[in-house]
Amino acid sequence: MTQSPPFRADHVGSLLRPQGVKEARRKFYEEKSIGAEELAAAEDAAIRDLVAMQEGVGLPVVTDGEQRRSWWHYDFMGMLKGMDIVEQEGSGLQFTGVTTKPKALVVSEPIDFPEDHPMLGHYKFLAETTKVTPKISIPGPSCCHYRLDPANTHVEAYREDIGTYFDDLIKTYRKAVHAFYDAGCRYLQMDDIFYAYLCDPKIREEWKEKGTDPDWLIGEYARMMREAIADRPEDMTIGMHMCRGNFRSTFVASGGYDPAAEAIFSTGIDVFFMEYDTDRAGGLEPLRLLPKGKQRVMPGFITTKTPELESMDQLKRLFDEASQYVDLDQLGIAPQCGFSSTEEGNEVTEDDQKRKLELVVKTAEEIWGTV
């Protein structure tokens, strides 16, 4: 029987791209030697295999691993009305020791969520493929601002008043939430990683130098999320993932959640996926701000960046510490991030990925007796 979220064992969403998908994407996008149908067939086959893997390790929830995407966020955003993702010199994102492909977000007209957004179909395929709860992850509204260079904003109303842009983002995401619900989705996750970025002292200073108060920005990001999901149907669960960057096992930001925790927990989100695999995430003290009730935090004590497997004793100690700040009943376990936030993937193998997901399930069963 399919369980309903929230779960004790969960994961963020992206999974390594199998070789068949990598080859098909290269042939379609670079060589132009196959058609869209052949690419889709390769993605379909990979998704079926990955769903079987997730079900096989005992997870109560599965994703499509973002097999149809190049990025965790740009693909979704580029499919919105008024937004495009373009190649732009100097626009590569700088991670620790490595830079991404030079892609940039451009806003050319007022934004909206189109009725035929392709990811609605992506969700439907996943739902038809699994016997457990299907979940799709999309970027949260903050991504559409944080990743936007003001020079790439070609809507006068947005240039003159950023509040107008934020209001249109709320409307766009509100439509997205209801469109996914109408497509059958009862578990939607939004990746809003920039709360964590804005806790990094260096990044906070960079925003101040640009004339923006990072604390104001955190508050606005929380307001956008809160208003975007406020009227969701009662039987729809919304999750939110936060991390400090994930590209080929590297990162961008460091710093505890302290400057943003109160805003994060004010959003009305049901399930919080919070990176906690290294000291870069700071201490667990901010969890004390989680309101008592049904909301749940999934501390990411299990890393997706390296193959080494965490010990059960280590994980139990971490949960003992976490329970000093939040009731154990409001906790669960998930990896710190996805395994493949971009199509390049992290520096781990498919076997490493499977063992990490098995550990998620085993940890949940060990601590709570269920997934």
Q: How confident is the model at residue 120 (pLDDT cuts 50, 70, 90)?
A: very high
pLDDT at 194: 92
Beta-bridge mates of residue 137: 189
pLDDT at 20 (0 to 100): 96
What pLDDT score was predicted for residue 89?
67
**CA trace torsion 76, 79, 81, 86 (10° rounding):** 100
Confidence of residue 37 (pLDDT cuts 50, 70, 90): very high
Average of per-residue pLDDT across 282-297: 97
Q: What is the pLDDT of residues 325-348, one digit of tens each?
A: 999 999 999 999 999 998 988 999
Residue 99 above 60 pLDDT? no
How confident is the model at residue 87, as a pLDDT?
81
Q: What is the mean pLDDT of the chain?
A: 94
d(CA 68, CA 77): 14
**pLDDT digits 0-9 by tens, 137-169:** 999 999 999 999 999 999 999 999 999 999 999
Residue 255: what pLDDT?
92
Q: For the chain, what are the domain ranges?
A: 19-368
Q: What is the DSSP string of 220-288?
A: HHHHHHHHHHTT--TT-EEEEEE-S--BTTB------STTTHHHHTTS--SEEEEE-SSGGG--SGGGG
- Which of 98-102, 117-121, 192-196 is predicted most confidently? 117-121
Each residue of 259-269: pLDDT tens digit? 999 999 999 99
Amino acid 96: pLDDT:
58
As a CATH number, domain 19-368 is 3.20.20.210
pLDDT tops 90 at residue 3: no
Statement: residue 91 has pLDDT above 60: no
Q: Determine the pLDDT at residue 249.
A: 76
Does the structure show a pLDDT above 70 at 290?
Answer: yes
Q: Are 273 and 332 in contact (CB under 8 A)?
A: no
Q: Give me the pLDDT at residue 94, please.
A: 56
Is the model's pLDDT at 14 over the cut of 70? yes
pTM of the prediction? 0.94
Mutual orientation of helices 201-209 and 214-229 as an angle, nearest 10°? 100
Average pLDDT over residues 186-214: 95
Q: Identify the pLDDT of residue 309.
A: 97
Mean pLDDT of 92-116: 79
pLDDT confidence tier of residue 246, bands split at 50, 70 and 90: confident
- Other beta carbons within 10 Å of 216: 10
Give the residue among 220, 146, 139 at the shortest CA–CA distance from 176.
139
Helix (H, G, I), strand (E, B) or coil at 37: helix
Kindly provide the b/e burial profile for residues 302-311, where b requires at least 16 CB atoms within 10 angstroms of the residue's own CB.
bbbbebeebe
pLDDT score for 180: 98
